[in-house]
Every structure is written in structure tokens, then in C-alpha cells.
Amino acid sequence: MTKIKFGTDGWRAIIAKEYTTDNVARVSIAVADWLNENNDNPSVVIGHDCRFSGEMFAETAAKVLASKGVLVKIAKGFVSTPMVSLGVVKEKASLGVVITASHNPPAYNGFKLKGDFGGPLLP
């Protein structure tokens, strides 16, 4: 099983090597469990950038989170990281998930978490 390690602003890995739908699902299960332990009615805003398969990874996260009882609001089309942060604050969501590897090369994708205040969560 691949070890998933979050850094200062999320988890990033090479698409189809470590960054797979199975691993995105594993992270999403852990996020859902944490949300359900710490919130009465957890909700999440999810967005993705224009990287290869971003939509698929965002939908994977959304399906897993919803299956664990988390209310999910997912952006239509690609959005920037600040747009997800704004969505979290405007929707009063418990958390934001951004599928992006930011400045990393195109072969990478990532999973960023935004707190209910819209900013990054610490690892």
C-alpha cells in the first residue's frame, strides 16, 4: 500500500503512479472520518484545476465523502484554488478540497485541504 504523506499544503504525487483514484479515495475516507468526528453536519466544497483527470479525481473524492454522510458541493468545470477558498467561506462549509498540484510539473496532481476559514490546514 502506498504511503500518503501530506506536506505543508497538501499531498502531491505523480498521476497514475502514487496519485490514483484508489489513493484519492483513501484520503477522502480519512477526511470524511475526521469531519464526522469533529462536525455535526459536515459539508465540503470541492474544486479542481485543468490538469489531466482533475475532474475524475474530484468526482472520486465527492462520491466517497457523500457516501460517508458529508454534504458535498462540487464546482462545475475547473476553478482556481482561491475560488474554492471563497466557496468554503461563502457556503459556510466545514472544509474545502482542491484537486491541484499547484506549481508542480504536469505529471503531478494533488489534494489540498482548506479550513472553514478558507485558508490551508496544517499537516
Task: Check if 102 is active-site.
Answer: yes
Distance CA(98)–CA(57), nearest Å, equals 10
Beta strand 11-14 pairing with 108-114: antiparallel
Distance CA(117)–CA(49), nearest Å, equals 21
Q: Per the structure block, which three cell numbers stand in for 64?
A: 466517497
Considering 43, 80, 94, 102, which one is annotated as catalytic? 102
Active site residues: 102
